[in-house]
Chains A and B, each alone.
Chain A
Amino acid sequence: MTEPQAGAGYSGRESAARLWQELLQLGWVKGDEPEVAPASPWYLVLLQLIAAWMAASFLLGFMTSLLLLVLDEIDTGAIIGIGGFYSLLGLWLYRSPVSAAREFASQLALAINLSGLIALGWGLFELLDMHLSVPWYGGMALVLALHLMLISHTPHQFITALGLCACGTGLLQEYGALALAPALTVLLLALVWLTLSHWGLQYRRGRVLGYGLALWVLFIQLPYLFNGQGVSEQHAQGMDWSLLAPLLHHDWQWYLSLLLSLGVILLLGLKALAQQGLGLGSRQGALVLMAVAGVGLLSVPMAGLAAAVCVFILGLYFKERGLICLAVLSCLLFIGGYYYSLRVDLMEKSLYLAGFGAALLGARGLMQWSLAHKTPGGNHD
């Protein structure tokens, strides 16, 4: 199977046609390639999600006014009851065999489930005396996990995946291990994406979970960026060894998260090299090692960079457009947020960024020069 020419690409249909031909040759399928409906554009899915959220708020309002008609006031049990009822109803609708109205049922089920989740969350919160605690996080995580396993609707799966990440982080906070959250999220992210091809029928579910984790990996960097969290106590109290100061500003958990991100980048780099018959000892291998080391060093002052590069490389490796866009937007956010970081003054930040930018452009120039010498007149931009 030949690679697409540089600058050219296969359309989705061409890619599917090639796959069908391969399956035909292997004897796993028969006949002509079936006609399939194209995937919904992203803006359509987004608009459906917005409509579902609006409908969910109306449904909650309806149930509240209905219960107020029957009861004098709505107590915690009633709220949890509403949430449970809506969740079960939504689940039934999703798994209903009514195929003719499936689109309508999915949309309705999404709105009902969202209302149910909000009601359950609020009811549990009131039951636990207005505290977010282990039982709350655990209970909600259980409900969300059930939703993720039992419901096949992609927008719903994405919301539940994000909710699961939030509950997981909350649980870590309750057990005093919040600082481990970035590291664990990176680990889960890598595990999900690197094993995705083995998920079989759960592939789509896993992919949505992967996106939820990617968004959470980037989101969870924000406290480090704006508040300088992760800084060890001794440095918070003013001790400072000027040359080594940036290296010593962070807790071991932060370094664990950094090492895991770099590990994922290195692993993907090695896999990409192996696919082209190259190893760590080659020139490209040395470049990969230097790049990983560079990202690691530059991530020390600029929290979030390693995570963003990790998500970008994952997106590049698995050809996932969404991951790449997430990473690019995160880079913009992290550089902007770096302005507000209080641990280093603006002059040092300016020097870091100038050096960082010059190093990146230099690396790009070197890469293009190296390619021009290797393949004269080849495409490289």
Chain B
Amino acid sequence: MGRFISHLSPLICASVHLWQWLEQGKLPVEHIDRVLALSIRPQTSAGWRRGISALLLWLGMLSICSALVFFFAYNWHAMGRFAKFALVEAALLVCVALFVWLSQAARSAPAGSSIGTQGAKVALLGAAILVGALLALVGQTYQTGADPWQLFALWALCLLPWAWLVGLDLLWLLIAALSNLALLLYYHTFGGLFGLVLNEEQLLWALTLVNGAMHLLFLIGARLGQARCRAPLTERLTLCAALVMLSWLCIHALFEPQGRELNILVYALVIGLGFGWYRFKIKHLYPLALGGFSLITVITALLMRLLFEDSEPVGGGLVLAMVMIGGSTLLTQWLRRLQLEFSVTLRETDHD
């Protein structure tokens, strides 16, 4: 599905160029209707086939998996123990068999063809969801006394070998989501680790570390050429989650600084190192955008504290608004210059 969506850029980019040509006076206004008609090219037959095929596949599998969930919900009390297990395990086996068969078909297909690839991915995702259903069934049937967090942690653990073998982005994303959920539920249940009673702040730290570690794993793994670690969606979302948590910790420290100097120090270190790494080494715009806006938010929070600590100055809101807008404007301009620089570098690298 992702590959199909990536083919849709031509129209958008052509129209962006068109408006800039107009603004530069390179394109006469009187021709705009006819130029638009030229630039809006019809979808190709290959494009239609890819799109319809992707829609049928993903919607079909989603419907069948949902049907299974609905069936279980309806018949839960009426079904015997063995019937429940038989149904889930049979569905799991079918998905795994489909994955193996379609993967084989993909390997033996002609070079350049993508027969079976999409179907194999969908089958594997279906199997991944059914693993969770099976674990939930075990926990409920045998009343093992396990805590909710253990279900999600075990589920994530079971999916790790598959994700490592196949390297499917959505599967990595599922594991990341399950890990976060397991962590949240663990702290909700125990509020501690190794016998220590911990609070909400430590949960935020744990989430920051887990998401940050996952992001670095995918980033470094992909750079070292590990195809199974190429998971751009998971890489971006884990970075976003880690940065949001860290920013929150820093803002919390700004308003209640006692014993929280480490929050600010770590935040400053991460932002500084991240800037150097993504600006000069990796040259990725997305982390720089996230980091930049995080910094603007933290600076605004600091100003808010300084302005409103002991009084409520009338112009305080105006100052904060100007800082927010000015900061985001400067950041946007800098990022646009970087975008141009990175794209030039990329073209030169491609030519080499």
Contacts and interface: CB of A to CB of B under 8 A. Distances in A.
Interface of A: 3-7, 9-16, 19-20, 22-23, 28-29, 31, 34, 36-41, 43-44, 47-48, 50-52, 54-56, 58-63, 65-66, 69, 103-104, 107-108, 111, 196-201, 203-204, 207, 272, 275-276, 309, 312, 315-321, 324-325, 328, 331-332, 335-336, 338-339, 345-347, 349-354, 356-361, 363-364, 367-368, 371, 377-381
Q: Chain A binding site: helix, strand, loop or mixed by DSSP?
A: helix
B67 to A, nearest CB: 4
Interface of B: 1, 5-21, 24, 26-29, 31-53, 55-64, 66-71, 73-75, 110, 112-119, 285-286, 289-290, 293, 296-297, 300, 312, 314-318, 320-322, 324-329, 332-333, 335-336, 339-340, 343
Given A13-B13, A380-B53, 15 more contacts: A3-B44, A12-B14, A38-B340, A41-B289, A62-B321, A108-B329, A198-B33, A201-B32, A317-B43, A335-B62, A350-B67, A353-B66, A360-B63, A361-B61, A377-B113
Given A7-B114, A59-B318, A59-B321, A34 B24 contact: yes
Contacts of A23: 27, 35, 38
Contacts of B5: 321, 324-325
A364 B63 CA distance: 14
Contacts of B36: 197-200, 203
A367 B52 contact: yes
A133 B21 CA distance: 45
Contact of B333 (A47, A63, A103, A367): A103
A36 B42 contact: no
A-B residue pairs, 10 tightest by C-beta: A12-B13, A62-B317, A357-B63, A360-B60, A357-B64, A346-B74, A353-B67, A6-B46, A354-B67, A364-B56
A378 B29 CA distance: 43
Given A13-B13, A16-B13, A69-B314, A55 B325 contact: yes
Nearest to A204: B19
Given A356-B63, A358-B60, A324 B329 contact: no
Contacts, number: 308
Nearest to B320: A58
Nearest to B44: A3
Nearest to B314: A65
Given A28-B31, A36-B20, A204-B19, A316 B53 contact: no
A12 B346 CA distance: 14
A377 B36 CA distance: 36
Contact of B57 (A3, A111, A364): A364
Contacts of A11: 9-10, 13
A346 B60 contact: no
A47 B116 contact: no
A367 B63 contact: no
Contact of A197 (B40, B43, B47, B74): B40
Given A28-B27, A353-B67, A353-B70, A321 B62 contact: no
A62 B67 contact: no
B64 A353 contact: yes
Contacts of B9: 9, 11-12, 15, 321
17 contacts: A12-B9, A12-B13, A15-B14, A41-B339, A52-B328, A55-B322, A58-B320, A62-B318, A201-B29, A317-B43, A320-B8, A321-B12, A346-B73, A353-B63, A357-B59, A360-B60, A381-B53
A184 to B, nearest CB: 26
Nearest to B37: A197
B329 A62 contact: no
B70 A36 contact: no
Given A23-B35, A316-B51, A331-B59, A34 B26 contact: yes
A369 B249 CA distance: 56
A248 to B, nearest CB: 23
A44 B24 contact: no
B332 A61 contact: no
Which of B12, B59, B339 gathers most chain A CB within 10 Å? B59
A107 B325 contact: yes
A9 B289 contact: no
Nearest to B337: A37
A335 B63 contact: yes
B53 A44 contact: no
Contacts of A20: 17
B38 A19 contact: yes
Contacts of B332: 40, 44, 48, 103, 107
A358 B64 contact: yes
A14 B325 CA distance: 35
Contact of B67 (A3, A47, A320, A357): A357
A207 B50 CA distance: 24
Given A51-B293, A318-B40, A324-B5, A345 B317 contact: no
Nearest to A381: B114
A381 B321 contact: no
